[in-house]
Amino acid sequence: MHIEGWNVGETVLVVDDEERIRSSLKGILSDEGFRVLDTGRAKAVMDIVARERPRLVLLDVWMPDIDGIELLRRIKETAPQTEVIMISGHGNINSAVTATKLGAVDFIEKPFSVDGLLGSIGRALLPDTAGTHPDHGGVKVGAEPQIGGSAVCKTVAQRTIKKSVVIGGQGLHTGLKTGVILQPAKPGSGISFTPLSGDVAVPARVENVTDTGYNTTLANGAYMVRTVEHLMSALHGLGITNLLVKTQGEVPALDGSALEFCRALTDAGVQQQAARIQPLRVTRPIVVGKERDGAEYIRAEPADRLVVDYTLIYPPPIGVQRVHFELHKPEDYVAEIAPARTFGFLKEMRKLSEMGLANGGRLDNVILVDDEKVVNTRLRFADEFARHKILDLLGDLYLTGRPVIGHIIASKTGHSDNLALVRRLLQAV
């Protein structure tokens, strides 16, 4: 993989205590036209940075004498214009989150592929590869009212984020500390998930779904990422079409909704790109299940924007809830759908625990219900349960790989029904 565009002769500093690693990286980067300096001594790094002013530093996390994270802090304080990519042979998502918060442009895990390394360098040195529109710059969320398109708008602008953002938390099902690093992506990239090594990617497409039991799971070979639906829902609601998501194992549950994802993405800045994308438009009615009162079914029919009518039917204390939602602009999603949290029943949580699931379910990230009432929180909406079902539905619909325009009518459905509809929609086009 050779990425055109960077200036021949730009200086890269490789900092690693293993001579073999330094030699290998020096050879790869020299072949790419860089001027490469290297050192295995942490105490020499700041002098080299001050004297040589490298454009990029490849910095090992585990350095003798001075910790790599501390070196990162010093580099960004004294030479903020120098980009830093952290490298680790014992990395985890928590150290990656810490490094990114301190200003690292990326974090890659050994052993990494040449393609993964050069891809990371390309994103660091060529921010324009994100494909931002030269005439628009950063646009506020909702600057285009018809985020889902309209009858007269056949395509919509592609979007990414202006800068990387990190979000840490706990996995709902694994119970492990986890996090995501969200990075800008060039036009046409779509949404992809990758581990810290960057040596494999899983496009967020329905063909990569491997499980829909209690969450939506994507996989490519041995790499698997669980509970993607809340993040995917936020991306659908905000109209973000291109994004690279680095994570290990499971996307964090946060407060059980998509609201914190929306806040992080808008804080990073939603960036309009020059390219456009053709939404998936429903052109004829499609039904999954038997469409009758009280039955489990989902139906799609033509409309000029994304509209959802959802009916939730549970025994008391939840009962019957009906919600009508129209996606005119991202603010509609942020106000009406994103805050709705996932929910579960106490008796069901015990069953999930026996199955090894919901180990991260806490009093602050799941609405818990017993036979009589909600037991751990105050509802954000009277019909919050049905709104969360719409949240999940929007996330699953985005596994078509593009925004969806149509009227979705659903009753008593879950992830498997949503994805059955996604497959039927893709077959129809």
Distance (Å, whole) CA 131 – CA 116: 20
Q: Give yes or no: residues 262 and 318 share one domain.
A: no
267 is written with which tokens? 């804080």
Distance (Å, whole) CA 167 – CA 304: 34
Of the residues 104, 125, 146, the one at which a domain ends: 125
Q: Give yes or no: residues 240 and 171 share one domain.
A: yes
Q: Give yes or no: residues 270 and 289 share one domain.
A: no
Return the SS3 of 134. coil
Q: Give yes or no: residues 246 and 179 share one domain.
A: yes
pLDDT of 362 over the 80 cut: no
Based on the structure, what is the number of domains in the chain?
Answer: 3
pLDDT of residue 5: 55
pLDDT of 307 over the 70 cut: yes
pLDDT of residue 240: 98
- The CATH number that applies at residue 188 is 3.30.230.20
DSSP conformation letters of 5-67:
TSPTT-EEEEE-S-HHHHHHHHHHHHHTT-EEEEES-GGGHHHHHHHH--SEEEEES--SSS-
- Mean pLDDT, residues 190-216 taken together: 89
Q: Give yes or no: residues 99 and 228 share one domain.
A: no
Q: Give yes or no: residues 291 and 266 share one domain.
A: no
Q: 327 vs 358, which has greater pLDDT?
A: 327
- For residue 194, the enclosing domain spans 156-277
- Mean pLDDT, residues 339-368 taken together: 68
pLDDT in tens, 78-122: 999 999 999 987 667 778 888 888 999 999 888 788 888 898 898
Of the residues 255, 277, 299, the one at which a domain ends: 277
Is 137 within the bounds of a domain? no
Is 46 within the bounds of a domain? yes
Instruction: Give the predicted TM-score (pTM) of the model.
Output: 0.81
CB 90 within 8 A of CB 68: no
Averaged pLDDT score across all residues of the chain:
86
Distance (Å, whole) CA 202 – CA 195: 9
CB 22 within 8 A of CB 41: no
Active site residue 415: yes
- Mean pLDDT, residues 152-178 taken together: 78
- Mean pLDDT, residues 294-321 taken together: 95
Cβ-count burial 411-427 (b if 16+ within 10 Å, e if not): bbbbbebbbbbbeebee
Q: Give yes or no: residues 265 and 299 share one domain.
A: no
Return the SS3 of 167. strand
Q: 14 vs 116, which has greater pLDDT?
A: 14
Q: How confident is the model at residue 349 (pLDDT cuts 50, 70, 90)?
A: low
- Which of 173, 230, 236, 415 is catalytic? The answer is 415
Q: Give yes or no: residues 297 and 377 share one domain.
A: yes
- Mean pLDDT, residues 153-167 taken together: 89
- Mean pLDDT, residues 333-341 taken together: 98
pLDDT in tens, 237-291: 999 999 999 998 899 989 999 999 999 999 999 999 999 999 999 999 999 998 8
Of the residues 277, 293, 324, the one at which a domain ends: 277
Q: Give yes or no: residues 102 and 203 share one domain.
A: no
- Of 234-243, 301-310, 370-379, the poorest mean pLDDT is in 370-379
Q: 387 vs 180, which has greater pLDDT?
A: 387
- Mean pLDDT, residues 15-25 taken together: 94
* CA distances for 199 relative to 252, 282, 418, angstroms: 22, 36, 30
